[in-house]
Structure 1
Amino acid sequence: MDNAGSINEKQKKNLTGAYPKIAKQTKLLNTLVIFAFIYTMYLAKSLLIPLFFSAFIALLLSPLVAIARKVYVPRTISAGALIVLLVAPFTLLSVQLAEPAERWLHSLPKIAAEITEEIEEISSSIDAFTTPPPPPETEPEERESSIFDWFGDKDEPDTPVTQSDKTNSVTDKIKQTGIDMGLTLFSSAPFLLAQILGCVVLIFFLLVFGPNLFHVFIRDFPVVTDKRRALVLVDQIQRELSSYIVTISIINTCLGLATAGAFHYFGIEDALLWGALVALMNFVPYLGGVASCVVLLVVGLVQFGLTSSLFLPAGVFLILNITESQLITPAVLGRSMQLNPLIIIIWIAITGWLWGVIGVLLAVPILMCVKIILANLGVFNHWIRLIESK
């Protein structure tokens, strides 16, 4: 019995000593899984971006397809009609904005050169007031000749680099940068159009065949144990996420229309283009508004020059943006849809690093989707409180 007791004690000690080792291995494995997941998201971005974008649009439109199905309208017809209604306004808007957008793209190098020249003129005028006058020129002293001068070249006087040479060099570099940006945009246009066409086709098939596939998965796959709860969960996620995306889209559209109307009233050129731009960039909270202000400062500088009126476009948008972000959006969305600003910026930085510009635009909808899923599953409540904290 004593031997058996001693063996049990040894086993307990071995198990007790093995627990910390197992815990460390588990943490290391979890860390490796997280890094592998991040690497996969980065590597497969050309596949995942259309999938996520199409899934969000399908979530928005699927309730309308379900309503049409109840009145005996086939899914194919209702899905096709919804896609036409969705694509047609954006197509017409793109046609209207193509000419001013192309004009601004072609004039970017010239605008950059003009801004550089203005800055150089201001800098030269400031230097003229602050730099003391040069001392009077004196005759160069003649150097005594030496026998060693016969074996070497005489020092040539350095050619001074003038301010105009520096300006021309900077201007040429900026022009080249603008040309490179234009070439990059034109070269990536076919790939972008192909992705857009793929998204449209994928949205159509998700609307037509997605619900049946989902119900078969819930009914027949053994991985889903609580089928009723899964259906309720997906329905609630769909309703809340659709409500959020539709609300934000309406608010940003109204902001863009208000900006375009105000710009037209004050005589700012290409008002519709800048209204569409700020509406699109406002899908990126905080950072989108800052970027819009910077763009509109350049617009004011190009149209009005170095006068007080250059702040007019950015000032008008800033007033509208503050009204929207501080009064309208919190009142419409309510407390349950609010997110911590610092969490949003960190998440935008992560998704932008992973997926570029499209990742920045999809950052907040993805974060909202994660928050809704965690809240409905009743897990990680501390993370939900962190995301919602103010």
Structure 2
Amino acid sequence: MSPSPDETPEPTPVVRPSRSLFGVLLGIFLILLVYALYFAKDFFLPVVLAFMLALTLSPIVRSLAWRGIPAPLSATLLVFLSFCGVAVIGFVLSGPVVALVEDAPNIGRQLQNRLAEIEGPLSRIMQAGDQIESVTESASEPDVQKVVIAQPGIVSRAAGNLLSVGTTVAIMLVLSLFLLASGSMFYEKLVQTFDLMSDKKRALRIVYDVEREISRYLLTVALINAGLGFAVGMSCWLLGLPNALLWGVAAALLNFLPYVGSLIGIVLVSVISIVTFDTLSAAALAPLLYVGFTVLEGQFITPLILGRRLELNAVAIFIAIAFWSWLWGFAGALLAVPILVIAKVFCDHFEGLSSIGNFLGAQDARETAE
């Protein structure tokens, strides 16, 4: 029996997924994403590095394009200069790094002798602990033979690491070249995915805002860190510290890790200073200058140039550094803060993600913005 024309059919109920189901699916997706990033590190790491380099150099390419220089030409020139810079720094630092690694046992012995007065009581406690452990091992299971698994030598490990780093750098440079040379093709493809003109304009505005803020941050921080590295290297050279160029480059790289990087650099310079100079007062000068430079950079120069808007939550910084260093090692630790800045800028442009962006920001970020 067919329904009469006056009867209105009941609408089909729309089944919407519950919040709990959505949360479970999101958790599964995040777990799978972390596994993919961990096991596919050799693929994702150069890709992320290429995007970071492309974002850093994109304002220069666009500025040169406004002056009539084609994007492929300027991109090729910038990537070639980046390759030359990395190659020259790697070649110059290879000798000091190898010498420092080979001399590490001697440096350890010298440091122990210089700090003998301070660590005297501690060394006696450690020796007593070692004696107790040796007596315990000899008393229990005397007939058990220990099997030592042979590990690859330092030369083979260094060769493998050098090959891996070379492959990563090559993929990064080639991919960043294509990204920079493509110009606005990525944005054109993005706009074509929307139907309404209002959505096209909004997507284009968000993409350009995110790119401008992130590229400004990355380029500015890179220049500031280079200046810090120059100041640390020059101070080490003037004080007579060996391998001053190495410590300058290390200071520039480690400064991409807020708080943690500066602490590591200060400890390294302190160890070399204690081993190099005769008195502790002379050895304290280089670390004190390092501390002064980092305080000047972190508290005055960077906030003055970048402003307070992109300041990050210290807790979020430590969590990001721990997570990405576990995921991708030292390279991941260097990328942790730039990735955090990208996430914050992206969240700030969407109302639904503004709470996440507010959490990632510093405590006074909202007051500063107002």
TM-score for both structures, normalised by structure 2:
0.78
Are 2:63 and 1:67 equivalent residues in the alignment? yes
Equivalent in the alignment of 2:54: 58
Alignment of 1:206-225 (within 5 A): 206-209=179-182, 211-219=184-192
Alignment of 1:243-282 (within 5 A): 243-282=216-255
Q: Is the 8 A contact 1:297 1:311 kept in 2?
A: yes
In the aligned structure 2, how far is the partner of 1:123 from the partner of 1:263?
27
How big is the shift at 1:184?
3.3
How far does the alpha carbon of each residue in 1:56-111 deviate from its partner, in whole angstroms, 9 at most, with x for none?
Answer: 11122223333333444333322111112323333333333232222112212332
Report percent identity of matched pairs.
28
Amino acid at match of 1:98: S
Q: Is the 8 A contact 2:344 2:361 kept in 1?
A: no
How big is the shift at 1:221?
6.6
SS of match in other structure, 2:256: coil
Would the alpha carbon gap of residues 371 and 118 (structure 1) be closer, same or farther in structure 2, given more than 3 Å must change? same
Are 2:328 and 1:355 equivalent residues in the alignment? yes
How big is the shift at 1:247?
1.3
In the aligned structure 1, how far is the partner of 2:92 from the partner of 2:18?
63
Amino acid at match of 1:240: E
Equivalent in the alignment of 2:344: 371
Alignment of 1:33-52 (within 5 A): 33-52=29-48
Equivalent in the alignment of 2:86: 90
How far does the alpha carbon of each residue in 1:133-190 deviate from its partner, in whole angstroms, 9 at most, with x for none?
Answer: xxxxxxxxxxxxxxxxxxxxxxxxxxxx9xxxxxxxxxxxxxxxxx966753343111
Q: Is the 8 A contact 1:281 1:289 kept in 2?
A: yes
SS of match in other structure, 1:336: coil
Are 2:213 and 1:230 equivalent residues in the alignment? no
Alignment of 1:1-390 (within 5 A): 22-116=18-112, 184-209=157-182, 211-219=184-192, 226-304=199-277, 307-390=280-363
How big is the shift at 1:28?
2.4
In the aligned structure 1, how far is the partner of 2:116 from the partner of 2:307?
49
Q: Is the 8 A contact 2:270 2:286 kept in 1?
A: yes
How big is the shift at 1:119?
5.7
| Mean Cα deviation higher: 118-127 or 359-368 | 118-127
Amino acid at match of 1:106: E
How big is the shift at 1:117?
5.5
Amino acid at match of 2:333: V
Amino acid at match of 2:335: L
How big is the shift at 1:279?
0.9
Q: How many positions carry a matched residue from both structures?
A: 327
How big is the shift at 1:118?
5.5
In the aligned structure 2, how far is the partner of 1:259 from the partner of 1:105?
21
How far does the alpha carbon of each residue in 1:248-278 deviate from its partner, in whole angstroms, 9 at most, with x for none?
Answer: 1111111111111212222222212111111
| Mean Cα deviation higher: 75-84 or 232-241 | 75-84
Which has more radius of gyration? 1
How far does the alpha carbon of each residue in 1:338-373 deviate from its partner, in whole angstroms, 9 at most, with x for none?
Answer: 111111111111111111111110111111111111
Would the alpha carbon gap of residues 126 and 388 (structure 1) be closer, same or farther in structure 2, given more than 3 Å must change? closer
| Mean Cα deviation higher: 359-368 or 21-30 | 21-30
Q: Is the 8 A contact 1:75 1:207 kept in 2?
A: yes
Would the alpha carbon gap of residues 225 and 110 (structure 1) be closer, same or farther in structure 2, given more than 3 Å must change? farther
Would the alpha carbon gap of residues 125 and 180 (structure 1) be closer, same or farther in structure 2, given more than 3 Å must change? farther
Q: Is the 8 A contact 2:194 2:200 kept in 1?
A: no
Would the alpha carbon gap of residues 217 and 328 (structure 1) be closer, same or farther in structure 2, given more than 3 Å must change? closer
Would the alpha carbon gap of residues 375 and 118 (structure 1) be closer, same or farther in structure 2, given more than 3 Å must change? same
Would the alpha carbon gap of residues 210 and 43 (structure 1) be closer, same or farther in structure 2, given more than 3 Å must change? farther
How big is the shift at 1:245?
0.8
More helix, by proportion:
1
In the aligned structure 1, how far is the partner of 2:161 from the partner of 2:123?
43
Would the alpha carbon gap of residues 344 and 124 (structure 1) be closer, same or farther in structure 2, given more than 3 Å must change? closer
In the aligned structure 1, how far is the partner of 2:118 from the partner of 2:30?
52
In the aligned structure 1, how far is the partner of 2:320 from the partner of 2:37?
14
Would the alpha carbon gap of residues 260 and 126 (structure 1) be closer, same or farther in structure 2, given more than 3 Å must change? closer
In the aligned structure 1, how far is the partner of 2:45 from the partner of 2:362?
29
Q: Is the 8 A contact 1:75 1:208 kept in 2?
A: yes
CA-atom RMSD in angstroms: 3.2
Would the alpha carbon gap of residues 213 and 105 (structure 1) be closer, same or farther in structure 2, given more than 3 Å must change? same
Structure 1, unmatched stretches of 5+, are: 1-14, 129-160, 162-178
How big is the shift at 1:240?
0.5
